[in-house]
Amino acid sequence: MAGKTVTRADLSEAVYQKVGLSRTESAELVERVLGEICDSLAAGETVKLSSFGSFVVRSKGERVGRNPKTGVEVPIDPRRVMVFKPSNVLKAYINGEIIERED
């Protein structure tokens, strides 16, 4: 079951329709919120959105991987990755246990 992809433009349009800001102001608001989230994650901070979930940056150490075609071992450099942990409220909503969200 493939769903629709929600874009920045879709988010901006939703803000425009529901909040009543102009389209330009709505787009700017969405960009600022996403920018703030990105800046916080880049600084290594956790971003927690109540009733939605948390974005957490984790550090992965160096490890040995394997090329699936050739079987040759290859070192994988240490890196930081971002993971999303949904809240229990979001999980319940996705699973149909909560009928309506509070807007």
Span 8-57, pLDDT tens digits: 999 999 999 999 899 999 999 999 999 999 999 999 999 999 999 999 99
Which of 27, 58, 62, 61 lies closest to 41 in space, CA to CA?
58
Q: How far is Cα 93 from Cα 63, in angstroms, rounded to an integer?
A: 37
CA of residue 92 relative to chain centroid, distance: 18
Can you name the residues that pair with 11 across neighbouring β-strands?
A: none
Residue corresponding to tokens 């969405």 = 30
Check: pTM over 0.85? Answer yes or no.
no
Residue 89 pLDDT more than 70? yes
